[in-house]
Amino acid sequence: MAILFDKQTSRWLLQGKNVSYGLGVDKNGTLQHLYFGSKLPFVSDLPDVNTAIYHSSFEPSGGITQPEYPAWGGMYYYEPCLKATFSDHVRDTRLVYKEHQITENEQVDELVIVLQDTVYPLFVHLHYRLFPEHDVIERYAVIENTGTTPITLEQALSGSWHTPRGDRYRLTHLGGKWIEETQIYQDEITPGKKTLESRRGNTGAQANPWFAIDRGTADEDQGEVWFGALGWSGNWKITVEYNPFKLLQVSGGIHDFDFAWHLEGGKSFQTPAFVGGYTRLGFGQASRNFHDYQRNHVLPKPIAEQVRPVLYNSWEATYFDVTEQGQMALAERAAAIGVELFVVDDGWFGERHHDRAGLGDWTVNPVKFPNGLKPLIDKVESLGMRFGIWVEPEMVNPDSDLYRKNPDWIYHFPNRPRTESRNQCVLNVSKPEVQEFIFKMLDDLLSENNIDFIKWDMNRSFSEPGWPDAPQAIQKEIWVRHVQGLYDILARLRAKHPKVAFESCSGGGARIDLGIMRLTDEVWTSDNTEPYERLFIQEGYSLAYNAQTMMCWVADSAKWVKNRPAPVAYRFHSSMMGSLGIGGNLTQWSEEELAESTQLIEEYKSIRHIVQKGNQYRLLSPRKGNTTAVQYVTHDQSESVLFALMHPQKFQNPSPRIYLRGLKSDSLYKVTDIEEPISGSALMNRGIDVNLHADLASKLLKIREVK
């Protein structure tokens, strides 16, 4: 039994494999956070719930205790999870414990605690889904109005995570911009509040909804780490607030900025999940637990159980200049080097000859494809590959038939400009008729053609988020309704076309989060495929998300990102650390390059189960030293692979010795290049030298247990 309850003291203890999470109800009926740390055997091990002391007339107990789901009301001044206005204009909410329920299932146990306002018919159902195997808890709230008059929700977060009263906490978070996604930042936490957020309509590249907290000294292998991520692809915020009583609270959910949800009587509002975990074993273990949780409980099955195919994407080869002949020529070359899935990117539809026209007109361009997509798909299949295609369904170019017919289908305000970005506007996916249009367009495309893969793109942030013909009370709901609409379309498409895999792309990595991952199979990590800069993006990505979802192309973008030629092997090794794709113009690759690529793709196929499904160890960070090293190990510890990549060099310093991880100490392993098998202990403690010397030199070593 993984969820314990002690009736006498009204305390709960949730138990994972190595962690416990404790909650209790205090004498005022407030639900208090009590513990999140290493495993405690008994409920009686939890701290007393009534510890609030009187401090001053300025400081309510809310600052001194750790309310689990604080509502704005009474003397509460820190980040609330809930802020509501009732129909009589009362703006004060007091939540007290009402009841709870525990359900046990095979893989997940669930605790639901119900809180209610002391006067109004407002209920909050706090859901805790515990995955003991991964030491991860999913939390979300369902806010219910059981009355007859509407309640306006002005803030409705998913929940708050707490750490023990303490000093010198440190925040690790991910941010950046287009072509610089998921960069790692670490800041000491000082009193006050820091907000990670997006107010752009999608997840955004500027910050990713993931965080980690440690005591300032954790590294890859040791130290307490509390971490979490929000599963939401629209406006979001995560606030990290450290109060004068040395309590730290990390609150997250849908952003309250420009937010108001009109909750009618009899209706409820469900927040996205805010998932959290804890480990004593540093950032490495935090990532590995989270990766496994995603593979087993987030990504759609059964596709998640397979390995991702090696993909080819035509974007950088042809841009908008897509033709049947041109794509067939690329397909032939792609098949010859071992590609398994051929994807036609932007430019195949409408009058899409550049980015100024055509978005919204999802009919095959008759000049580029005189006989539709079928001849190309047949050709791709005859070459032994599957076929995929690019779409950007939430967008429209004003120069399109769709816009000329439905100018009111975009977000806009009267008397204000309709700002274009990349010459396009955002369709109002909050509107049911727009949702229906998108669903039907994709359903037809998938029904009429043998398509196995959709790359779903989204190439701008929102502006003028108006919905003039909607009732005034729901106009601010567009931020949420858009995402709900998107999720709903994806869910319906998946149900009807279960073999189709989806990739989430947003001008590179601007829509990467656990919410979209529930409905897609991989994400486009970044438009930046320059293999050295990619190491930084991939390292940050790996803190939060697993390698199976991380698409990495060997492309020619080295040329436009930075004119730094890199050896073929280095470009491949950089990309083989995730799900491998090829994005270069194969018609311009030399015979030698194609031959080397063929061999490297074959090698990738022999190790991809280790990379995509195994445990990942970040051995040497690109942010330090002259070499990056990443190792992957199968869960049974019998196979492993090490990637070592040297950075642009100076002073002729050799690469450092590399100490492997995650092997069985007493087993013997055969390592590429090393004649005699050596023990796991030696590989981990004595280490190995990879002997890299030159700029952008790299090595891939396979490690296999000798039985």
Residues that bind ligand GLA (CB under 6 A): 315, 345-346, 390, 457, 459, 505, 507-508, 524, 527
* Comparison of 282 and 508: residue with beta carbon closer to ligand GLA: 508
**C-alpha to C-alpha distance for 394 and 359, rounded to whole angstroms:** 9
CA 429 from centre of chain: 22
- Closest contact distance (angstroms) between CB of 345 and ligand GLA is 5
Nearer to ligand GLA, 280 or 422 (CB): 422
Contacts of residue 115, defined as CB under 8 A and 6 or more positions apart, other chains included, come to 31, 69, 95, 96, 97, 98, 123, 124, 126
Query: Nearest residue by C-beta to ligand GLA?
Result: 346
Asked, as a colleague might, if the bond just before 302 is cis with ω within 30 of 0, I would say yes
Which CB atom, from 227 or from 315, has the smaller least distance to ligand GLA? Answer: 315
Closest to ligand GLA by CB, 26 vs 345, is 345
What are residue 284's phi and psi, to 5 degrees? -60, -50
Structure tokens at 240: 């990290």
Give the number of residues written for the chain: 707
Instruction: Please report how close the Cβ of residue 454 comes to ligand GLA at its closest, in angstroms.
Output: 12
Strand ranges inside 358-482, DSSP E: 386-391, 395-396, 425-426, 453-456
Give pairs for 590-597: CB < 8 Å, separation 24+. Answer: 593/568, 594/333, 594/336, 594/337, 596/568, 596/569, 597/337, 597/554, 597/568, 597/572
Tokens of 524: 């486009």
Give dist(CA 334, CA 328) in Å, integer.
10
Active-site annotation holder among 26, 135, 361, 527: 527
R_g over Cα of the chain: 26
- As measured in angstroms, the least distance from the Cβ of 431 to ligand GLA is 24
Q: Which of 135, 214, 361, 457 is catalytic?
A: 457
457 is catalytic: yes
Helix residue spans in 371-498 (DSSP H): 374-382, 401-405, 432-448, 478-496
Cβ closest to ligand GLA, residue 338 vs residue 507: 507
State which residue, 243 or 549, has the beta carbon closest to ligand GLA: 549
Q: How far is the CB of 481 from ligand GLA (least distance, A)?
A: 25
Shortest Å, Cβ 125 to ligand GLA: 39
Give min distance, CB of 73 to ligand GLA, in A: 45
- What minimum distance in Å lies between the beta carbon of 506 and ligand GLA? 7
> What residues form DSSP beta bridges with 83?
155
In the complex, least distance from residue 676 CB atom to ligand GLA, rounded to whole angstroms:
46
Whichever of 555 and 577 has its CB closer to ligand GLA, that residue is 555
User: What 3 state SS string does 312-352 have?
Assistant: EECHHHHCCCCCHHHHHHHHHHHHHHCCCEEEECCCCECCC
Compute the distance between CA of residue 454 and CA of residue 452 in angstroms, rounded to an integer.
7
User: In the numeric block, which tokens belong to residue 473?
Assistant: 């009370």
Q: How far apart are CA 25 and CA 32, in angstroms?
A: 6
- Residue closer to ligand GLA, measured from CB, 36 or 342: 342
Residue 381 three-state SS: helix
DSSP 3-state of 476: helix
Q: Which residues of 477-505 are buried (b: 16+ CB within 10 A; e: fewer)?
A: bbbbbbbebbbbbbeebbeebeebbbbbb
Give the residue numbers marked as catalytic. 457, 527
